[in-house]
Every structure is written in structure tokens, then in C-alpha cells.
Structure 1
């Protein structure tokens, strides 16, 4: 029996990955954080590629699964109008791929930051002669030059100028944004040195540089893990959190926001609407978070699914359970959210009024905040029935049994 797998491991040329980024075939899921790499890390990455050192695997998710949809966005620095539909989304490797795309494929200056976190724009060069010297650390060969390609001293006086190709040729500084298509730069370089003193040596040096350095960029291969399009959404989200080493913690709210955004629905704005219209005026609900609200919506949505299956003749013990676990929230469909969101919001308002009757006035007075979610969900289902004395009595009994029994602690 063959093993079932949701991913494939392979290798891909870096230049091919970057070209697919350029045309929008590879994009980012919208829940990815912004690009944050600083100047020093970019130089270190470029040095590693120039030496054919490993820079780590990249993980992609194939698109095309209607049940696993995230709003895509282009790699930072890329503008395509209209934005095409991607074939793959980057789950791990965003920082490295963005740095490489901006530094060696994009002609504009790279927007990054210095060691003091100050925003800067830089072009990246490599010193041809130094790069061919095995005794010089490769990172020392990578130069970060200001956007205008002029280096100035502390008095603002120009001390290095690479603003025109002739100055690059004279200094022996190769612009790394030419590294994947260096033919035009090489021809101009050869013409510049052809009849000059030491020109032959310079041309021979560049020929060796092409062989030893430039070829490493064009032939560099990246280990690639491709997750199949049939991978479940909860698995995609779990994998992203496990492989992402940047300290990004994603809540189900953020993941669902990215999912609903694929249908042009802004979950974050809708949550603000609900909080302002229904929750803000109740001090006891001040601690309610967006994930609590989604749990309540999920309880109603899974209840509706269960009732539908039972109505269709499925046995109760086999019908889907009512649940608000993480995996269940991630399966919420936009139409389910829209069908229950306002109903749940009213349930939270009813919960606030009932808690007020029990002398619980602020969020600090609530022993267990997690108990408010099922309370609000229950009240949302009951509607006006919850206003009768008999039902209130049962709800109060349930609430205090939960508190005193520490069932939600």
C-alpha cells in the first residue's frame, strides 16, 4: 500500500523562481507579515548565494483548491495591474525570496533598513577583484550603495561615485541587479577597457568573475517543498506556524481574515462594526476578543450543519458535532459567518444584560471569560425565549454551576 503524502520535495533554479515571482505566478498569502530584512542580512544572503552555500528550503502551496483559498498579494516591490491569479503561494521563504528579487532582479533600489532600524534605499554591488580572492571574506566583497549610487562622508561630500556605468567599470564594481542578465553590462565593460592600459587584464579578470561568481547565481538551485492543492486548510495554517521562524503567531481570526478576503470581504472591518455597534457599550464585554466572537459564530454554524444532516435523515450519533475548535473555525464559510454574525452579536448583548442581573458589571468581575462564548451562543439561539423567567432561571443555574464547578477554568 503506497503512502499518501500532501507534499513533494524537489529543487528549482533560483532564476526560475524569481521569474515566476516577476509575472505573478508565485505570490504570498495575505496573512504573511511584511518584508522586514535589514541591509546586513541582505548582504549576507547575497554572499551565500555567490558561494553556492545553502540558504534553506522554500515551501510553496499550490493553489486551485476551492476550500483552501487565501487572498494573495504580490512580493513587496512588485506591481502588476491587473494582479494575476497565482499558481503557488509562499508559506516559508518570503524574506529570502523578497530580498533576492529586489536585490538581483529589480532595477530599482532595495527598500530596507540599517542597523538602527532607519529606512534606507540601497543598490548592491560586488567587488570583482576582491570576490576572486579566496582569502577575503565574501561578505566584505558585497557593497551596499545609496539610491543615487554616490557614497558620501559624514560632511556630505562625495567620496565614491557609481552613478554611471563608466565609474562602475573603473572601480571594478559589478551591480548585482545585472547578475541574471549580465551580457549588456559585460559588452559595455569590455568596450570601456578594450584600448586602455591594463585593459586586457581587466577583461580576463571579468571572464574569470563570470565563471566563478556570476555562474553561481544563474545555476543556483533552491530546495523546494511543494504542498499539494488538496492539503486541508488547517494543515496549511499549522505548517505555516511551524516552519515560520520569524516569531509570527497567527490567530484563527487572522487566517480567516485572509480567507474571506479572497471573496472581497473584510472580516477585520466587520469585527470593528460589531464591536462598536453591539459590544462597546457593555463594560462586562470589554475583554471579548475577535477569536471569542468567531468561536460563538462557529457554534451556531456547526449547529446548523448538524440540524440539516439530521433533517436529511442522518442518525444523531453520526451527524456532525457542534464544535468551535480551531479546525472547525477554519472551515467556516463566508456565507455561514454572514448568516450568524449579527445573531451572535445580539447574543453577546443579551449575555451582558443577564450578567448585569447577577451583579457582574465589568470584565474583571467575570471568573472565566471562556464561559461567555457558549452563553452568548445559547442566547443567540434562544432569542426572545431567553427573556422568560423560567429560561433565565435555568441559564443562571447553568452559569453558576460552571463557575463554582470551575468547568471553564
Structure 2
């Protein structure tokens, strides 16, 4: 530790400015100090060797000496800031509201040796004095059995002898014994080993940052966005945080979907013809990002408006975020003439839904995003006419889902893209509540719940089905919490009869509500009631329902993936279309 402290004191070890400031609580500081005093390992740190020029703008550790002209920086501390800062500040006693002490106490186990315990004493200022007063009185500190941590500073402390003599009220023999204890502790601290990993000075900046992000173990982890924040401020004097605040002010609904800073950087990367990933952030011209900010805001606003138009209202109902920066970045190429705009809007609608209903971005998302961005850009600019220019439209590369895919899609509250995509399709159709007839909107989402059309408890108890089979996207509808409570675990036949008996227009009204979710009414109306012995029939009815709903949804899925929004073009069964038209 003495070597580390010497590097900090001589200004040779510094922090890249993109690192956040200290974030540890005083409990974490105390725990680290006990680890050191007990000679237990506290983990390794990561440094980057610095050559003739610093690769990153840097700063000193909190409360460490500032850089002076002529000082030679030899290392940047990439990981370990919180630990070294905590040790430095505790040993230098420069926390404004804490003073650290150590004393030895017996553990609860019989026969155990006294072990060091650290006290982080809270301090406060009153009338120009720092309380509690005993912390500044060596006699009172010693009477309580404590030794100030500052006396153990690896760089030395010339107050040790004087403190020991004062603490023992001038008793030279006691002072000698106390000073030996302090010296022993100080030696242990000075010799405490902090292992490290070192990147050579020729390491490229983007590689060093990638290693840093993957290895960073602080309690408040940094993201690629945090790093770009510091680099933008260094390059332009502009605050990216302030720019993101401007973005959220211009697009107030953005926060319902995604972090604005990350989306803006992804959009900026694509606009500079780079993949939306961390490596691109480091290779972009950061000054251009600030200069292009108004256009980035306009593109993001346009993308969010498109989500709202497609009735996708929040992050929980958003199947995939991968397409958002692509659409935002393409805004600059959107045509202004009426008919061309209509064609372009259909193209982008088709792209959006394919991103929601295929596995295009399950892997290598950033690379594939750049491929699709380039293909869509060529189509918008009229350089190509074949939609397959964007690989997402090549069904050999990116196949559309089949009926079996729809049947197998998981519960939409999870992260599976197709599962959320199928719920999004239903919401786009209008998704009126099956009891109060209210359409799902952004304003009432908080009052909506995921409902099992075939109750989970029935399938598990009577049908002996596995949980995985009950949790299917096609067994789900988003309805009001009050309707969900009213239905409870009734069989479909039972809750349909309840709805029909209460509807002024009878069965036609209820059919229309279910059709708005793309739910086949007939298959539900035949399901139940079930006795304990009806397990096989229940599972058979459930399988028939899933297959019927898949057949009903698939034409809609295919139509949306072609960018078509007209209900009449989707080939719904005549009975369902007719029911959906009931006022």
C-alpha cells in the first residue's frame, strides 16, 4: 500500500475523467479497512500504463494532491478508484463528517484472538467546534480502546510518539507499549499487498475502455454513456447530461420507453455510418455529436411518435428497442412529398413490425442494425427498389414467424421479443376490455393486468399441465385489474356467460370485444365448465384454442410485416370481422 500511496502523492497515478466520483458509503469504507487490518484480500485493481501522452483527460483521486507543471503521469487507474480513495481519505483523516478508529475485540467464538474492529465515528460542526469532542482528545480515545486510523498512514505520521505519550497521560512505559502497537499496525498497513492488472501503454483507447467496463466492480457501475459524457465535455465544453435533458424536454414521452442518452448515442453512431455500440462511441467525432444534436432530437421524436401511432405505449410493451435508433437516424432521409412519404411510412412500419416479430436482433444486434440501416437508407434515397436490400426483409435470412412459432411464444411479460410482439399486435387492433369495453391507452396502462384466457390454476390443477405451457403469449390478454379480479379462475365458458348476461347487446358485443384482441370467441365459448376428471378435455380445448388464435393472428402478423394496416386486407374470418364491426 505504501507504493500505491506514494504514486498518488507524487501525482504519478491519476484517474481518467470519465470515472465517476467516489460513491462508497461509510459502511463500505469501514468494511474495507477491517479487511486490510485483518490482512485479508480486497481484490485486484486495473491500471493502464501511460506513455509520453495521457490517452485520457485525467484528474486526481478525491483529496489527493493536484497535478503541477512538470509532473509525470505514469498510470491511469481504470478500476479500484473506490478502494484506493477510501484508503487514502481514511488514512489522511479528511472526510468532512467521519473519523475512523480501530480497536481490538474478541470474536464471539471461545478462544479466538482479538480482531481489529473499525469505527467510523460521525462528526458534526457546531459553534466552530467538531463534535463529538472526545475524537480530538487522545486520552478519551485511548480510554475507549481506540487508535486513530490516521496514525497508520503508510506515508508516515510524525504525531505517533506524541499521541501515544498524551494518550497515556505522560506515562513513558505505557506510551512505549502503545507506540509499539501503533507501529506494528502501521507496518502491516504499509506492507498490505494490493495486486493489480496492468495494460501496456500501447493499448488502444477503445480496447482499454472495453476492458474497463467489463472489469469494473464498483458499487455504481459506469456505462459507455458515462464515458462519452466526460469525453464530450472535454472536447467541446458542452454537457451531454444537459443535452439529454433538452432531449427529454423535447420528447417528454421518451422516458416511458428507453434511456435517452443511450438512444441518442446509438442514433449518432448510425448517422455517422457506424454500428450502434460502445466501440463506435469511442471512434465517433464527439464534437459532431453536439453539433448534430437538434437533428438527433428530431429523429428520436419522430421514432417515438411512430411507436405511439402503432399503439406501443411503454417499455414493458415494447418488444425490442433495437429498431428505435435506426428509425430515428433515418428521419433525415424521409421524403417530404405526400405519396413518397406514404410509401416511406409503409416501408418503415413494415421494418418496425419485423423487428418486433422476428429473431433478427437476437444476436449480433449492432452489426445487423447497421446492415438494415444502410439497406433502408438506400431504399429511402431511391438508390434501390428491392426491399431485400435490407436483410430484415429477406425471408431466407430473417424468416417470418409460423403458426407453430406463435403457439410456442412465451408469456409476454418476459423479455422474449415474439411474445411481446404478439401482445403489441393485439394492442394495435384496439384491445378493448372484455367487460368495461375501454380501449387500452397510454393513460390507463397502469390499471391493466396480464390475464390468462385459460386460467393458470385450472390448467395446472385439473389439466396437470406444466407451468411453461400455461404461460403462452396466445393465452394472454391485457385487461383491467377489476375485470381480472371479477373473472378470477373461472373457466372461459363461465366468464363468457357472465359477460354476455351483463351486456346490453348480448353476445355480439362480447364477441366484438374479444375480436379486438384477435381472440377466437367460438373456441373459448366451448371451454368449460370442468370437473376434476376433465383434465384431458381441458388440455385438448386449450390446444385447440391456441391453434385457433394462431390461425387468426398470423394473417395480421404477416400484414403488419408488409407495412399494411387495413383490417380488411388481413383475411380475418368473416365471423370475426363482422363481430368486430358491431358498434
TM-score w.r.t. structure 2 length?
Answer: 0.49
- 1:139 is aligned to 116
Shift of 1:387: 0.4
Alignment match, 1:319: none
The offset of 1:55, in angstroms, is: 2.1
C-alpha displacement of 1:60: 1.9
> Is 1:290 paired with 2:242?
no
Aligned position for 2:101: 125
C-alpha contact (below 8 Å) 1:301/1:336 kept by paired residues:
no
Task: Give the 3-state SS of the residue equivalent to 2:238 in structure 1.
Answer: coil
Paired position in structure 2 for 1:316: none
Given that 2:44 and 2:194 are in contact with CA atoms closer than 8 Å, whether structure 1 keeps it comes out as: yes
Q: Distance in 2 between matches of 1:387 and 1:257?
A: 34
CA RMSD of aligned residues (A): 4.2
Q: SS where residue 238 of structure 1 aligns?
A: helix
In structure 1, the partner of 2:241 is 268
Could you tell me which runs of 5 or more consecutive residues in structure 2 were left unpaired when the two chains were aligned: 126-130, 362-416, 418-583
* C-alpha contact 1:72 1:262 (8 A) present in aligned 2: no
Q: Which runs of structure 2 are paired with 1:88-237 in the superposition (5 Å)?
A: 88-104=75-91, 106-108=92-94, 110=95, 121-127=97-103, 135-140=112-117, 142-147=118-123, 161-168=134-141, 173-180=146-153, 181-187=156-162, 189-190=164-165, 196=171, 199-200=172-173, 202-206=174-178, 208-210=180-182, 212-237=184-209
Instruction: Please state if 1:256 is matched with 2:217.
Output: no
Structure possessing the higher relative contact order (Cα contacts under 8 Å, 6 or more residues apart): 1
1:301 aligned to 2:301?
no
SS in 2 for 1:209: helix
**8 Å Cα contact 2:140-2:167 kept in structure 1:** no
Question: Is 1:401 the counterpart of 2:401 in the alignment?
Answer: no
- CA contact under 8 A between 2:164 and 2:179: conserved in structure 1? no
Is the 8 Å Cα contact of residues 60 and 88 (structure 1) preserved in structure 2? yes
Specify the alignment match of 1:374 in structure 2: 326
Task: Classify the secondary structure of the residue corresponding to 2:195.
Answer: strand
Residues 32/335 of structure 1: CA separation in 2 closer, same or farther (3 Å cut)? closer
Q: Which has the higher strand share?
A: 1
For 1:67 and 1:143, locate their aligned partners in 2 and report how far apart those are by CA, in whole Å. Answer: 39
Per the normalisation by structure 1, the TM-score is 0.67
Matched ranges for 1:230-249 at <5 A = 230-246=202-218, 248-249=220-221
Task: Give ranges in structure 1 of 5+ residues lacking alignment.
Answer: 1-13, 112-120, 150-156, 303-321
Q: Secondary structure, in 3 states, of the residue corresponding to 1:126?
A: strand
Pairs within 5 Å for 1:52-67: 52-63=39-50
Q: Is the 8 A contact 2:13 2:75 kept in 1?
A: yes
- Partner in structure 2 of residue 388 of structure 1: 337
Aligned equivalents of 1:170, 1:359: Cα separation in 2? 73
Inter-CA distance 392–368: structure 2 relative to 1 (3 Å threshold)? farther
Contact 2:168 2:175 in 1 (8 A): yes
Structure label with greater radius of gyration: 2
